[in-house]
Structure 1
Amino acid sequence: MTVPPGRFGGWPDPSRLRWPTTPGYRAGSGTAVGAEIRPLTTTPDAPTAKLVEKPHPLTPLVRAWVLVLAVAWSLGRELLNGGEGFRPPPLTWVTAGGAALVLVLIAFAYLDWRATSFIVDHDELRIETGVLTKTSQRIRFDRIQSVDITEPFAARLLGLAEISIDVGAEGGHKLRYLSRTRAAAVRDYLLARAHGVRSAELTEHVRTGVLNDLGAADEVLVRVPPQRLVLGAVLSHEFLLLTVPILIVASGLLALDPGGRGAVLDSPWLLLGAALPGVGALWSFVVRRVIGQWNYAFLRSGPGLKVTRGLTSLTSQSVPRHRIQSLRIAQPLWWRRLGLYRVDMAVLGNHGLAHDEDQSGTTSILLPIGTRAELELVLATIWPGLRLDAIDVRPSPDRARWLQPISHSWVGWGYDDSVLLTRAGWLTRVQMVVPHARVQSLAVDQGPLRRRLGLATVNVHTTQLLATTAARNIDAGIARTLLLDEASRARTARLAALLAAHRPG
């Protein structure tokens, strides 16, 4: 919701002009049919005025809701850990204290809302915050790398969303909170300005779905059904590590203790009572994973790409092709016969490898579980022309079997004109794909045992926190050749990318 830069004086007039809009461009990555477009009727050469937008008026309720939950959790934990003889206060006191706490938190959140403004100048976005200490965060449009939308559970109940703006090494910034439709419109506008469209047009509202961030102009490339998410969770290493040891221990105890086996046969409810907590934990594990990746979709959105997922908390994450440092393609043991893969991406400025698939917000997961055809489609969309099966993978020499007895048949490396491919892993087979232009440095590692076997490992470093890519246990002479050749390919690829970026037109 948008209000004038002064105090909030009721719901705004829809006819007011806000944010720089001209008829020269329409941000269509999320615009649905029937969305209302309100461009400014100014000349294209007119200077852009400073425009101010406030967070949605319901923002204090969301902020207070989060604070109330945190305080309630802390107090509840203290009460549960109280000593013997602890007597809770009267219900009237508890009710009055809770009401006073809620009012104080709402008042604090309201003051914070009053002090927060989003200001658009000619070349930058400013975020003004602070009640006692004023803070001004300035974000140049040409520094914006990606813009994501997240709808936490409390905000989603009120139809609100937050915008996360990634500006690379400078860190991230958040706009909390706008209406869902307004957030999508602002996201499209910021991405357009980041791509150099100075006459970008911001729609008054962009209509998106309640369960997804799919606009009329978006093209769904991959969608993962819920049943496949369930299958992936059940066949994951985490699930099997929870269930198999418990079943082995329980079976061993019953086999060694005839009396215990007879007690279970005489009273099946005893077995049910013992197994119920474990079954509940496994059920919670599967449900969290399915909810976290629910309605997953990989989309082509205008000139960019994005990933949407989540049921209770919806995340719409933009995927900037030029910032992807590497891809990690993993295939756990139990997924191989089914031909299923997981793909993680290393994006400059984001965190490392995601270990919890149920977490909301920006993660490294590009494809939670997909078929071979979906994997190839994702790769071809990010790097057109790339085909992994066309790369000649060179295995390690036979003497390397002493260092990798189980995974020897899988370990290898190869390259083509655009990427370097390495393979490693045993329980989980991993392929790392690194574009030549993203290689920052290389190093040869040769310990005493490798030196005796005439082997070496070439480590390939990028600017991201995913595991270092490595061509493992290859011939020492080939390792030195790979080091020099890959350094040359990296320089050539970076120069070609730089020339392409500055080529007119």
Structure 2
Amino acid sequence: MSTPQSPDPSGALPPLPPVPPAPAGRESLADAEWHRLHPLTPLFKGGLVLIIVAGIVLNNFRDRIIYWGIGLFAPEEANVGDYAGGDPVDWVLENNLILIALLVILGVLIVLIALFWMVWRFQEFRISDEHVEVRKGIIFRSQRRAPLDRVQGVNLTRPFPARLIGMAKLEVVGAGTDANVPLEYLSTTKAETVRSDILHLASGARAAREARQQGRSVQNPGSAGAATIRSQLIGSMNGGVNDLIGGVDLGDVVPESVVKIPTGRLIGSQVLAGVLWLVFFLVVFAVFIATMLPIALANEDGDGRFVLLGAGLGVGIPFIIAAVAITWAQISKSLRYSIAPTPDGVRITFGLFTTVTETIPPGRIFAVEVTQSILWRPFGWWTIKINRMSGKSASQQQSSTAQQFNVVLPVGTRADVERVLALVLPDMPVEDRPLVWEHGILGPQAGDPYQVLQKRGWWRRPFSWKRHGFAVTDFAVIMRRGNFWRKLAVFPLARLQGVSAAQGPIDRAQRVAILKAHSVTGPVLGDVVGIESVELTAAVDDISRRAAAAAGRDHSHRWAQDAAHEWSA
């Protein structure tokens, strides 16, 4: 990890190194023309499964298929009794049918290649000034379109087998349920170029990009075709293997700006999290033993202890295997993690063999939460999660990969947290930052500016009622909660979806109410309970007024518009 920076006593987040310019010299694909995906796309999307299934079918029915083929080409030799139990290869050699067998294999390969070619031929994409479009299908045609002004991010995934030959999957994250547009697969170089084009257009930087291109010679489109397919394949495979060692998507960022996680810290944090699973298992096992012990003691033949032992192993072993699998899954997903600023937003990369790179443009983060487990407190470790539009359905958002996209820092020290907050909340005013650290994450302290849960409602949060509260600024609603699990959530007002107050009969009797900050679906929840009802009513009006003003000032969704004007001038 880069050299940690000591926190500023004034509460200001540490400055980040300058962001390098976007890579130049690549041919743009944002020309509103239709382009095809990688020729091996059908193989990686379904061809491998088709080949495996075909192999299983052939293995199960090989005797019948071979006998049918023999009867077709050599009826006089089709004797089931002579063939039964024999090896098909030996039989082909003995009967001099090598040429026919090779022709059959060649015919099957030609049919498969023709099918793959037709599937590839009818898959195209194009990037215009307004949309990213994908169309595919032979009999049943489909077309998906993502408006560039609604792009919430671009994900670049390199599955391990495809990565070895230089292929990647690009997914344009849209705003809405099932709104993502996948481009699978592209060569890695082309995928990076498409990602850059999409993000530049989404940022309003088309004029800036064209102005930069006027001052340099554009790569000759025909030069790529001059190389043979063999040399391109060897080059892409070499690049894929080298990426396994050196990492991916780090070539256009300043090394000092990259935040990484040491492997020892990552493993240690997940092992500590696994302690909670162990405690839960011990509780379940103790309840099980307490339930089964009287039955075992009542067994007069003395076999009760063996029954108890077998039942205990039957409960314990699967649970231990599941706990180890979950812990390893969390570790493997976060290996080779890095987060860094780029000209097009925050870039997050994780994964060892299959790598996933997500670029989140400015203005696409709706909530940020810093969390610390009580087991992490002695080590000073924290995690950061965000709410963002995923473009996936509700069921898809429950997958582990989708949830991983909501974690922007799996585990980090205070210096790491400060740097990541500076990346995901770059427009947070300096005067608001003490509310995040001194009074928020580490608070409460003397002169606490938070509106907190009233003492008469302590029973709602008996262990954290002194911390439970919120603060409002012109930039965000900041909510502080928890004691054993400390949480500090920041909801930028410019992207706040709504705010409300709720009051039940018990709340009404105690003259308190619940504040809810509404955001897009995600792990960060926005509610605090037990707030003085009169103060909360005034706070809701204040938040609504400030949110309207913040939305009017916010232009982060077109973050490169000024750069475009400068270049055009």
TM range (shorter): 0.7 to 0.9
What does residue range 451-466 of structure 1 map to in structure 2 within 5 Å?
Answer: 451-466=508-523
Which residue number corresponds to residue 59 of structure 1? 41
Q: 2:340 is matched by which residue type in structure 1?
A: L
Corresponding position of 1:245: 283
User: 1:333, 1:101 → 2: CA distance?
Assistant: 61
Q: 1:371 to 1:446 in 2, by over 3 A?
A: same
In proportion to residue count, which structure has more helix?
Answer: 2
User: Could you say what secondary structure the match of 2:409 adopts?
Assistant: strand
Matched-pair contact (CA < 8 Å) for 1:313–1:360: no
Change (3 A) 1:390 1:270: closer
CA RMSD of aligned residues (A): 4.3
Q: 2:542 aligns with which of 471, 480, 485?
A: 485
Q: CA deviation at 1:427?
A: 5.1
Q: How does 1:255-266 map to 2 (within 5 A)?
A: none
Single out whichever of 441-450 and 152-161 deviates more from structure 2: 152-161
Gaps of 5+ in 2: 1-19, 69-104, 225-234, 440-448
Counterpart code for 1:130: G
Range with greater deviation from structure 2 (349-358 or 48-57): 349-358
Q: Structure 1 residue 197 and structure 2 residue 205: aligned?
A: yes
Give, in angstroms, the shift of residue 301 of structure 1.
1.7
Question: Greater share of strand residues, 1 or 2?
Answer: 1
Residue 484 of structure 1 and its aligned partner are, at CA, apart by 1.1
Flag the 1:106–1:310 CA change in 2: closer, same or farther, 3 A: farther
Output one character per residue of 1:373-410: Cα deviation in whole Å (capped at 9) or x when no partner.
21121112222345212553332121111222223233
Please name the residue that 2:243 is paired with. 210
Which letter does structure 2 place at the counterpart of 1:245?
Answer: V
SS at match of 2:363: helix
Structure number with the bigger relative contact order (C-alpha 8 A, sep ≥ 6) is 2
Shift in CA distance, 250/331, structure 1 to aligned 2, threshold 3 Å: same
1:183 aligns with 2:191: yes
Unaligned ranges ≥5, structure 1: 1-26, 41-47, 77-87
Given residue 457 of structure 1, which amino acid in structure 2 is its aligned partner? Answer: I
1:366 — aligned with what? 408
Structure 2 residue aligned with 1:133: 140
Residue 367 (structure 1) shift: 1.1
What displacement does 1:307 show? 0.3
Report % sequence identity. 24
2:367 and 2:417 map into 1 onto residues whose CA distance is 15
- Cα deviation for residue 69 of structure 1 reads 8.8
CA distance in 2, matches of 1:357, 1:374: 27
Give the aligned partner of residue 364 of structure 2.
Answer: 323
Report the CA distance shift for 1:111/1:296 in structure 2 as closer, same or farther (over 3 A).
same
Contact 1:115 1:128 in 2 (8 A): yes
Residue of structure 2 aligned with 1:298, choices 328, 334, 339: 339
Distance 1:466 1:275, change over 3 A: closer
Does structure 1 residue 382 correspond to structure 2 residue 382?
A: no
Give 1:7's aligned residue. none
Pair member with larger Rg: 2
Distance in 1 of aligned mates of 2:264 and 2:67: 47
Instruction: Single out whichever of 352-361 and 172-181 deviates more from structure 2.
Output: 352-361
Q: Given the two structures, how large is their TM-score scaled by the length of structure 2? A: 0.67
Structure 1 residues 101-500: aligned runs within 5 Å: 108-121=115-128, 124-169=131-176, 171-198=179-206, 199-200=209-210, 210-211=243-244, 212-219=247-254, 220-236=257-273, 239-240=277-278, 243-245=281-283, 248=286, 277-350=318-391, 359=401, 363-384=405-426, 385=430, 387=433, 388-389=436-437, 391=439, 392-425=449-482, 428-466=485-523, 468-497=525-554
Q: Distance in 2 between matches of 1:260 and 1:72?
A: 51
Cα distance in 2 for partners of 1:424, 1:197 equals 40
- The residue identity in structure 1 corresponding to 2:553 is A
Pair 1:321–1:482, CA change in 2 (3 A): same
Shift of 1:191: 1.4
Give the SS at the match of 1:321.
coil
Q: Is the 8 A contact 2:129 2:201 kept in 1?
A: no
1:266-325 superposed Cα distances (whole Å, 9 cap, x missing partner): x9x999999665544333222211111111101112242110001232110012220111
Decide whether the 8 Å contact of 1:418 with 1:436 is kept in 2: yes
TM-score (norm 1): 0.75
Question: What amino acid sits opposite 1:160 in the alignment?
Answer: M
- Larger mean CA deviation between 193-202 and 330-339 belongs to 193-202
Counterpart of 1:79 in structure 2 is none
Please list the CA deviations of residues 141-198 of structure 1 after superposition, one character each: whole Å capped at 9, or x if unmatched: 4443422101234423433111111232381101110122221122112212222233
Measured in 2, the distance between the counterparts of 1:311 and 1:255 equals: 46
- Please show how residues 27-38 of structure 1 align to structure 2 within 5 Å: 29=22, 31=23, 37=25
Structure 1 contact 354–365 (Cα < 8 Å) conserved: no
Cα distance in 1 for residues equivalent to 2:248 and 2:458: 49
Question: Which moved further from structure 2: 331-340 or 179-188?
Answer: 331-340
Distance 2:67 2:44 in 1: 21
Distance 1:39 1:343 in 2: 37
Q: Which residue of 2 aligns with 1:4?
A: none
In the superposition, relative to structure 1, how do residues 364 and 92 fare at CA in structure 2: closer, same or farther (>3 Å)? farther
Following TM superposition, by how much is the alpha carbon of 1:134 offset from its aligned partner in structure 2, in angstroms?
3.0
Q: Secondary structure at the match of 1:210?
A: helix
Q: Distance in 2 between matches of 1:361 and 1:452?
A: 40
Task: State the shift of 1:120 in Å.
Answer: 4.2
Aligned residues of 2:145 and 2:181 also touching (Cα < 8 A): no
For 1:218, what is the secondary structure of its paired residue? Answer: coil
Tell me how far apart the structure 2 counterparts of residues 233 and 436 of structure 1 sit (CA, whole Å): 34
> Which amino acid counterpart does residue 252 of structure 2 have in structure 1?
A
Q: Structure 2 CA distance, aligned partners of 1:96 and 1:102?
A: 21
CA separation of 1:465 and 1:304: change in aligned 2, threshold 3 A = closer
Give the match's secondary structure for 1:343.
Answer: strand
